[in-house]
Amino acid sequence: MDDKTLRVVDEQGNEKDFEIVLTFKSDQTGKSYVVYKEPGDSDEVFAASYDEKETDGGDLKPIETDEEFDIIEEVLNTFLEEEDES
């Protein structure tokens, strides 16, 4: 991962680049998360957890609980509100 782009490799080995919306670490879960989207004006976002200690970005892990989804949604909404204000 660089600062703005995330390359995802699917199960068939296909690579696809995504635009990183934000990354954050949750004190509640102790996990690091990335929220990303297709390049361009797409409003659909995806989220995953990852190991921030991995030098190559590591593997993305699926969001496992409703608590995690709620945390991500709250952080994303706050981020988007702050973006709208600037």
pLDDT of residue 75: 97
Domain boundaries, the chain: 5-85
> What long-range pairs does 69-73 form, CB within 8 A, spacing at least 24?
71/26, 71/28, 71/29, 71/33, 72/33, 72/35, 72/47
Give the Cα separation of 60 and 9 in Å (integer).
10
pLDDT of residue 1: 47
- In this prediction the pTM is 0.86
SS3 call for 28: coil
pLDDT of residue 23: 94
pLDDT of residue 56: 66
Phi, then psi, of 72 in degrees rounded to 5: -65, -45
Give the residues of the chain that fall short of pLDDT 70.
Answer: 1-2, 55-57
